[in-house]
Homo-oligomer: A and B are copies of this chain.
Amino acid sequence: MDHTPSTIDEIPTPALVIERRAFDHNLRVMAEALPGPRLRPHVKAFKSTALAKEMVAVGHENFCAATVAEIEGMVAAGLDNDLLLANETTDYTRLGRLVDGGADITAAVDSDDVLEAVIRGGVRRILIDVEVGLPRCGCDPADAGRLAEAARAEGIEVRGVMGYEGHLMMVPKPDRRAAKVEEAMALLLQAHRDVGGDIVSGGGTGTYAVNTWVTEIQAGSYCLMDTQYSTLEVPFQQALSVLASIVSVSAKGWSVANAGLKAMGMDHGDPTWPEGELRFCSDEHSTLTVEPGGPGSTFGDLVRLHPAHVDPTVAKHRTMWVVDGEDVVDEWPVDLRHW
């Protein structure tokens, strides 16, 4: 790239593009629903400290993360008002170093092994991570109290509990989703009674409105959105797209855009092209069905593809371009990538 793009047609493709107005709408709606510390934005969805600072500007100062690299980047950007590693790892020495430097870091703990690693690594504050139905991390709810006691006996501050009802994010009907979330949160509240502390943390973009049992919601996708979450009745707009250029036009009715499965997360299926049919993706291509003279029918045309899953899509890119209409108004580096 020779210079910083000032309009959308100067952005080198493929590229992540964020619609400023849709993004602002999403932040405003969420900040009204869950003001201040009622939301603990999850940086795994967007992996950008520049974007995180936009959330601070609307009142959310406490964040959670899925990787140690995300925590390190947030601390480096001064965004460690109250940082939670909402996940387990095997090596807490990198976090301990940040704690020694004065960072406010809390770790999720779901076993004696993790507790021991946390203590050895030098982290001093934890949440007990409770399994609430998703077969992933988290202790048995009945074991949470014992684990908290073991931690406190070692001088660790136990701030409360967390439990992620990830298996319920995509339950289609809000009523049914709310009922299932209530069952999951009953397990978390049972654990909280045994553990104590001020924090009950859980939820995500799919359940932020129906999970009324936690003290804070861990959501991140709401700010950018994807076609998977868009199938739910949530009041957030599609703010992220992958900008691509048409590099080949066939007389047989298709064109080829230069963004493929190395530019978009494919775990929830193909991306969507709002202006027509996307046939399939290859490593560096998406084949689109086009009409003569229609969108995508000319070499060099720009098209915007909507990925099915935002988190792994963002993780493939180095930067996000923020646009308002045709103007590029900001660039947000994706600085929390890798591990």
Contacts and interface: CB of A to CB of B under 8 A. Distances in A.
**Identical subunits present:** 2
A135 B250 contact: yes
Interface stretch (A53-61, A145-153, A230-238, A280-288): A280-288
Contacts of A13: 90, 339
B131 A250 contact: yes
A12 B339 contact: yes
A267 B258 contact: no
- Please report whether the interface of chain A is mostly helix, strand, loop or mixed according to DSSP: loop
Interface string A85-100: 0011111000000000
Given A90-B300, A166-B282, A140 B251 contact: yes
Given A44-B284, A135-B287, A283-B44, A248 B299 contact: no
Contacts of A300: 90, 113
A262 B89 contact: no
A284 B316 contact: no
Contacts of A138: 248
Contact of A312 (B66, B90, B245, B262): B262
Contacts of A263: 339
A144 B263 CA distance: 30
Given A13-B90, A137-B248, 20 more contacts: A88-B247, A89-B258, A90-B299, A111-B248, A111-B249, A114-B247, A136-B256, A136-B282, A137-B256, A137-B285, A140-B251, A261-B267, A261-B309, A262-B312, A262-B315, A263-B339, A266-B266, A267-B281, A315-B316, A317-B338
17 contacts: A13-B90, A87-B284, A89-B245, A90-B258, A114-B299, A131-B250, A135-B252, A135-B279, A136-B248, A136-B256, A261-B267, A261-B309, A262-B311, A267-B281, A283-B311, A316-B316, A318-B338
